[in-house]
Structure 1
Amino acid sequence: MTTGSPFLIKICGLSTPETLHVALDSGADMVGFVFHPKSPRFITPERAGELAAIARGKAEITALIVDWDERQASELVAALKPDWLQLHGRETPGQTAALRRAAGRPVMKALGVATADDLKSVDAYRDVADRILLDAKPPKDAAYPGGHGRPFDWTLLAELDPGFPFMLGGGLDPANVAEAIRLARPAGVDVSSGVESAPGIKDPARIVEFIAAARKAAAAVQEGSSA
């Protein structure tokens, strides 16, 4: 985490006005809507538009897409007007740059991590993505990307340039987010299943608890770094 920089908390996979309001009222910096049909958090662009109208101006709006082409991304941006595109598939650095140009929006590229070797891909994306999300690799037989509620070994991130800002995802929840922030020193955290009572069903109490725990842990790390 860069000392003195704002720490970002993103709640992803929101699908109802009620839980969106909880996230916003609790201080989420970013809210994410999922457009991958195989995900239990999938919502239509029409539904996302209704939710985005609530969030706009209160938090940054992120549209999560998986292996879309430039036309699809451009059409979604025109309809939804998100602040960010989150690329959660197998997009190459070249495709990432192309989507960024076509959509005219900053992009966050998610990279799956299971071993130290997986971090070798980070450098290839640093110049084509505006933000990197280090997420847990999905199980081999998974129907959709993401951490599936399973964290990876955060100590692997000690190999990264300490001045490199990244967001951390994958298996985070209210109980472990403080330890994740202490060990990994990310610039922000991204949670989805960790604040749910069932796949795709956000739990308001867990959202509140997660944001409070993350904010407290980030403040402690920043105070320690500046001491």
Structure 2
Amino acid sequence: MRIKICGIKRVEDAIMAAYCGADAIGLVVGQKHNSDDFIDKDLAQKIVKECPPYISPVLVTELDDAEEISNLAHKIGVTSIQLHSDCTVDSIISLRKILPHIKIIKNFHVNGFEVIQAMKPFESVVDAFILDTLDLANDKVGGTGLVHDWNISRSIVKKISKPVLLAGGLTPENVGEAIRFVKPFGVDASSGLKDCDGFKDEIKLINFICSAKYEFFKVRDPSLKN
């Protein structure tokens, strides 16, 4: 089980996520839609430099130009890129040529079973997929706090060959159920872990990560269910 905490906006939250047991943090840079989680590239670079060892910083971006994305990833110093744009297979191939050693994760919004066919052409060019919920009313493509149909997500996990991470409205209260039902490779949360000030809440972080890891081990080892 891999756990990513997205929408990190300050060094303190990155360190807190790492010490609570997160595997990765998401830095949202390169904006085309609404979000409270966007930060500039200089702050993102600072957060990456201050990250403890053994945690992966991920560039989460809505940009779709391969050269622009690669320049941003190089400046910030990330190890993975999460694409929340309408980029094509060819643009991802171009990005891979520029950054052959960086992991690429492609976002898809779960709005019907037809998303499975839309994902298929990308299987050969990405390292993983992340499933999220679209919020058209507020022009948000991520960090919406909205849960989608997990029946579709579970079907995607079974039918797609690459690792699938689950996002979209995950909280400390529902992440265990999500893992039991969908059985994803990992989970990703942002808005469900915020305090009233818009930054991450330590108690929510601890509860989310503990619940996710505990449920994952129950799924992997049925003897732990009793």
Per the alignment, residue 77 of structure 1 pairs with 73
Give structure 1 regions of 4+ aligned residues with deviation exceeding 4 angstroms.
none
Q: Which has the higher contact order (CA 8 A, sep 6+)?
A: 1
Which of the numbers 166, 169, 188 marks the counterpart of 2:167? 169
Q: Give yes or no for the alignment of 1:148 onto 2:144.
A: yes
- CA drift at 1:50: 1.2
Alignment of 1:31-110 (within 5 A): 31-37=25-31, 38-55=34-51, 57-104=53-100, 105-110=102-107
- CA drift at 1:54: 1.9
Per the alignment, residue 15 of structure 2 pairs with 21
- CA drift at 1:201: 2.3
Output the aligned Cα RMSD.
2.1
Per the alignment, residue 180 of structure 2 pairs with 182
Q: Is the 8 A contact 1:22 1:204 kept in 2?
A: yes
Give the length in aligned residue pairs: 220
Output the TM-score relative to the length of structure 2: 0.89
Tell me the distance in 2 between the aligned counterparts of 1:91 and 1:80: 21
Per the alignment, residue 207 of structure 1 pairs with 205
Aligned-pair identity (%): 29
Matched to 1:12, the amino acid is C
Tell me the distance in 1 between the aligned counterparts of 2:64 and 2:198: 22
- CA drift at 1:78: 2.1
CA displacement, residues 139-198 of structure 1 (integer Å, 9 cap, x when unaligned): 223333125101111122343363743111111010000000000000100111110124
Per the alignment, residue 127 of structure 1 pairs with 124
Per the alignment, residue 157 of structure 1 pairs with 153
Per the alignment, residue 3 of structure 1 pairs with none
Structure 1 stretches of 5 or more lacking a match?
Answer: 1-6
Q: Is the 8 A contact 2:30 2:63 kept in 1?
A: no
- CA drift at 1:226: 11
Structure 2 stretches of 5 or more lacking a match?
Answer: none
- CA drift at 1:100: 2.6
